[in-house]
Amino acid sequence: MKADLKITDCHVATMVEGGVPYGAIEDAAILIRDGAIVWVGPRADLPAHEAAETHALDGRWVTPGLIDCHTHLVFGGDRSGEFEQRLEGATYEEIARAGGGIVSSVRATREASEDDLYASALSRLEGLTATGVTTVEIKSGYGLDRDSERKMLRVARRIGREAGVRVRTSYLGLHAVPPEFRGSDEARAAYVDLAIDDILPAAHVEGLVDAVDAYCEPIAFSGEEVSRLFDRAKALGLPVKLHADQLSDGGGAALAARHHALSADHIEHATEAGIEAMGQAGVVAVLLPGAYLMLRETTPPPIALLRKHGVAMAVATDCNPGTSPVASMTAAITLACVQFRLTPEEALAGATRHAARALGLSDQIGTLAPGKRADLAVWDITRPAELAYWLGKPLLSRRYRDGLRLTT
């Protein structure tokens, strides 16, 4: 067997489902060729091989590269002032209805150049890559007009080309109603038409869209409006995902299931009927503990129901300027355990195997197995549970994407 790279003197958490916890292999080795894993297993069982290069890891642990499957990484400005307002008693809904929230980020994003948006996104991406991320989903949704939404998505594509991470983009045109379309039902309907019939097709033709997302809440968009968007996405051959049931029970989980969405994200207020529908449809639940923490919510996602109905649980940062200024994937893992009572193994699976499913990439990444891309995170830990145990301690030794070692 020929290999470009042999990784040895390590322990591997393959995160392959079933068998031993974490899919762990003690004293392991990995063979990589053409950016993909061709063999992984106990070092004692290494097949006869020729490797062009060998990296000995001095007993470190290797996991799949972490996957942040829900971010709003590209935006202008920040909303630290609103953070202060919330601490003084204002609610997220009050701030949004007063013209703050998402709309304030829209103003700053529209005014920013592509280079400015790229530079600011890289500053946040550094926190993610320093905590083991090799794949990141990036949404639009702070432009809310034809040019600005496409601008955001072009920046996301540039990050994927230049910044050492695999990027999946999501069009989030139904994120908020922009200021120029507020004031009447007719104006709002005109924006929904624009987002569905103009902006989405234009971004799709430009090759900027991997999936379509929407925000389904009373302060955002209705189930009927979202269904129209999802029908258009299906006609374009694009998968869908949904911000669902974060602030109230709006039937978002069931809506995501009806449209066979890749994921329903947040879902703190989802009902058992909605959760059961997700399980039957294979929809991944994306848990976002950063937003839960920063909004000081008190109703956690229904974890027991998700387990009962066999719903895969992914974990992500929801990195955004307003409700989750979180730029650490290991912090999200820790918070998922502490706030939602996931086990460390469940949380790590949520940042690897299940996150890959939430992006439609489970055939490529998320576990360490032959045929998968060689996206790896190498950790200075003695057992995988430390990734959930430590909050703020630097644990990453190095990353690999497609078998190439990256700077952290």
> For the purposes of burial, counting CB atoms within 10 Å of the CB of 164, is it exposed (0-12), middle (13-18) or buried (19 or more)?
middle
Residue with tokens 């322990």: 11
| 323 among annotated binding-site residues | yes
CA atoms within 13 A on the CB side of 280: 12
Q: Is 79 annotated as a binding residue?
A: yes
Determine the Cα–Cα distance for residues 383 and 69; give it in Å rounded to an integer.
Answer: 24
What separation in angstroms does the CA of 37 have from each of 34, 66, 132? 8, 16, 18
Partners of 373 in beta bridges:
36
Say whether 243 counts as a known binding-site residue.
yes
**What's the gap between Cα 300 and its chain centre?**
19
What angle separates helix 146-162 from helix 102-111, to the nearest 10 degrees? 80
Give, for 210, the enclosing helix (H) or strand (E). Answer: none
Q: Taking the CB of residue 258, how many other CB atoms lie within 10 A of it?
A: 15
Most distant CA pair in the chain, distance: 71
β pairing state of 36-42 and 133-139: unpaired
214 CB neighbour count, 10 Å cutoff? 33
Structure tokens at 323: 């409700």
318 marked ligand binding residue: yes
Annotated binding residue at 168? no
**How far is it, in rounded angstroms, from Cα 246 to Cα 406?**
36
> Is 260 annotated in some ligand binding site?
no
CA dihedral 364, 366, 368, 373 (to 10 degrees): 30
Contact of 42 with 290, CB cutoff 8 Å:
no
35 marked as part of a ligand binding site: no
Is 292 within any annotated ligand binding site?
no
Q: Is 246 annotated as a binding residue?
A: yes
Binding region for Zn(2+): 70, 72, 243, 318
Binding region: 70, 72, 79, 142, 175, 243, 246, 318, 320, 322-323
Binding region for N-formimidoyl-L-glutamate: 142, 320, 322
Binding region for 4-imidazolone-5-propanoate: 79, 142, 175, 246, 323
Binding region for Fe(3+): 70, 72, 243, 318
